[in-house]
Structure 1
């Protein structure tokens, strides 16, 4: 087992049916994740926005949190998950770069692990079991082939289902995961922008390719970038105040 997949020593092994909270705004993908994880012995709850995730974490009883990378405020949820003693996994869209899944994101912003959406059916249950200190799973009681087929290319199809602002946020969120060091090491938003300016230009071109009818691509990408960088600064300040690294 790799270091990244070892359960943290300060968290007890899950007993009974481990409970997983899924923070995801997409109905189809959330339903597929529920079915897949349910077949692997997990009890799954879904929260469609960051506030609902925080309220569920505060209520307690969860063993793990899985966050959609593009959930508004999603990057900030790793901190309350840690405070609640809950494992945190980011679900990555891998839409900005076709080869993103071939390398690990530079920074996970306090999360314990990540899984690409096209590995939702196989990697996610296994990673969760490893982080929770569980043994090998029993063979799922139901056939998941149809679920896995329905997830094929969902990462791409999902782009076309987004509003223009949602699409910009999804593209930029994916970009930040793979450029985390350059962004979080910057002392200002302008410095962060300069550090990834070429990637942001690629993000604008990708947006225009996917939504040629939409106007103001550059402004939408810029707004999404500034909002996400601000949320990362807020999450970093929260961790520092709480003595977290």
Structure 2
């Protein structure tokens, strides 16, 4: 463990020194304007500034290739998927077609025992179609739903302190005791929507994955991202390969929930 800390410290120091050296070199080259190659009339020229940038790009590409090969080998190593995972979906006035595609992709995830929590930013009648889609896709016999007059930071217009406290406990029990949950809550913005599952989950799961309601997840996305986190304890979070296709992405973000 001590050796790992020393190596990590040396990497930080080396990266910092390299960055400072690169910044000083680029700044000096830019100020001096020294040209290595130039043609008559300056139609074509290649200066010290450009040379440093090219060298930097080559070094970056070299180490990126080494890291890619290292990660490819590590991902090919089988691991036990025995850590608990919760997928949190944030929804706000989503296009019905996008939401259906998102939830269908969620059902196809291959991670064993994954918990799915979708929180809708808004609890009006105009928002209820998203909960109905959730019930239809995830299964009416499996989906647990709750229309919440409040959220974790704001009471509903008709809620008393007592009823608000009871609703907070109900949300926590709902999330902790069910594998498939949809909550419609008082509008509060995306941060409030994300806060609800995080607060309710607490430390009950090992990892949490987040995505928007217009995201299509690759079936293996959760498994592959957990592999990265399990392979290296120094990695605290990992992002997926996001590809924009009719507003649909492959995967968003997964991190440790400890």
TM-score range, shorter-chain basis?
under 0.3
Structure with more strand by fraction: 2
